[in-house]
Structure formats: structure tokens, C-alpha cells
Amino acid sequence: MKLSEQFKVDRPMLSFEVFPPKTEARFEPIMSAVEEIAKLDPAYMSVTYGAGGGRSQYTVDIAKSIKAMNVTPLAHLTCVSSDKTTIQTQLTALKAAGIENILALRGDLPKDYVPGEYRHASELIDEIHRFDGEFCIGGACYPEGHPESARQKDDIQHLKEKVDCGCEFLTTQMFFDNDLFYNFMYKIREAGINVPIIAGIMPVTNAAQISRIVDLSGAFMPQSFLNIVDHFRDDPASIYEAGIAYATEQIVDLFANGINHVHVYSMNKPDVAADIQNNLKSILDK
């Protein structure tokens, strides 16, 4: 099912992200986790793309397996380290596997980055659209502004370019302060960006995640959130429970404010996905 159709449904929905293994030896354990998450019957599941395309076949294989489990897959595709031949090959593989939805991303710049055939996600979106107009194409957005963008106004203009190239929905980077997200929503709607926005939520279930999150996204962390992490950091069971509760509270607030589509960065952890979904069972069943 195309996500563009799914997003027309006016009710709260929850989806989960999974990522492929770094090595073949890890494929089976990760597939076991993917299967457990699929049993929760989420609205859809996204599958990330290996850095530099190194795990690209795993992305296709996992997305294809998710589809076989009667869950809609969303395959990530990055372009910064790829040439057009590689992208064409990947699109051909996705189409052959029956994957209808693609999240088109530039990808993180490698340390030895040399500009190639793609510099921006909008170029990849245009490429996908011209390859096969039947793909439903999504993109990424940053409620706090892209780390490489000096002004949020410029970043929002780049989002508009993505939409103009054929992007049908946008998924946010993780955020921990809903007010920042609501402010962002106001600004992009004012800029004429009217595609569905999927809120990305990361449940923090151990203290070690904090430094990784800061390094990856630079996301603002409210003092209330930092207090939780600081208070429970030495108690694994407590910080897990507190992290699930904080993420659940964020999602409830989003649903209450009319944001129906929330994507949970579950880090291949079926227990995290299940606990978040169970906390929202009555809301999601309406």
C-alpha cells in the first residue's frame, strides 16, 4: 500500500524503524527482531540504508520480508555516496521486490567526501520520480533546522524544493521538545509545504544513547528530560521505564494536537516497540 493513501486516514497511527545488519552473521538475529516488531501490526515499517550503500541489498531483503508479513514497508535510499548507475540498480531491485514506498535521503557526508553526481536529496527525489512515477516518495525534515544550514528559513526553502520535485510526505529527525515541533509545523505551513508530516520519536532507554543522539542530530534536550536521564542513569530498569514513559507522553501530546502519524525509532528493539504501542493501545484502537 502506498503511504500517501494511508496518510489520508484521519486517526492516530504508529510506525517503527528498523535497520539492516552490518555483517551477514547478524542478519538472522536482526530478522528475528524485525519479525517480532511486524507482529505488532504497525501502520508501516521503515528500513534504513547502509552507509555508502554497503548494506543496500539487506535493505531490499528486509523490506521484501516485511511486505510478506502483510506490513507496509518503507525503504530508505541515500545518494551522497552513490552514482546514478548504483541508484538505478537499487530502484530496479526495489521495484522488482514490489516495494512502493521510498524515503529519499542525501545521507551523511563521509569524512573523505568528494562531490559526485548527487549533492542534495531533491536530486534523488527527482531521479526516483523520473525512474518510475508509481513510487510514493518521502523525505526527511529537521524541526530544529538541518545541522548544516545556517538559517532555518533556508532549510525550509530546501524542503519546499523537495516537495516540488515530488516528495509526498516528510518524516522528522528525532526531537524531545514538542513545542519545537509545533513551531516548525507553523513555519512550514506558512511556507506552503502542505504534505503530511510524520513526527519522529526516539525512546531513550539507556544513558549511553544520549551522547550518540547529540553526535548524530544535535537535538535539543529539555531540562526535564535531562533530569530523568541524570536521576535514573545508573539503574537500567528504571531508565528504561522512564524513557518509555517520556516517549509515550510525547506521542500522546502529539495525537492530542492533531498529529496522527508518529514514527518510532525503535532501534531494532521489539520490547521498546511493544511497550510504546501497549501504552497507546486504547488510543490506537479507536
Cell of 178: 514538542
Beta strand pairing call for 169-172 and 45-47: unpaired
Confidence of residue 258 (pLDDT cuts 50, 70, 90): very high
**What share of the chain in percent tops pLDDT 90?**
74
Q: Exactly one of 5, 17, 24, 161 is catalytic; which is it?
A: 17
272: number of Cβ within 10 Å: 22
**pLDDT, tens only, 58-94:** 999 999 999 999 999 999 999 888 889 989 999 999 9
* pTM for this predicted structure: 0.94
**Per-residue model confidence (pLDDT) at position 115:** 65
The chain-wide mean pLDDT, for the chain, equals 91
**Per-residue model confidence (pLDDT) at position 18:** 96
- Given a contact cutoff of 8 angstroms between Cβ atoms, the answer to whether 48 and 55 are in contact is no
Number of folded domains in the chain? 1
Nearest to 241 by CA among 276, 277, 284: 276
3-class SS at 229? helix
Q: Is the pLDDT of residue 161 over 60?
A: yes
17 is catalytic: yes
Bridge partners (DSSP) listed for residue 70: none
Confidence of residue 196 (pLDDT cuts 50, 70, 90): very high
Confidence of residue 50 (pLDDT cuts 50, 70, 90): low
**Per-residue model confidence (pLDDT) at position 146:** 84
Instruction: Give the mean pLDDT of 134-147.
Output: 93
Q: Is the pLDDT of residue 286 over 90?
A: no
Q: Is the pLDDT of residue 24 over 50?
A: yes
Instruction: Give the mean pLDDT of 143-155.
Output: 87
CATH code of the domain containing 101: 3.20.20.220
Higher pLDDT, 119 or 40: 40
Confidence of residue 52 (pLDDT cuts 50, 70, 90): very low
Domain of residue 256 covers: 1-283
CA distance 169 to 43: 15
**Per-residue model confidence (pLDDT) at position 53:** 46
**pLDDT, tens only, 200-230:** 999 999 988 877 777 777 788 999 999 998 9
Run of H or E residues at 74? strand 73-78
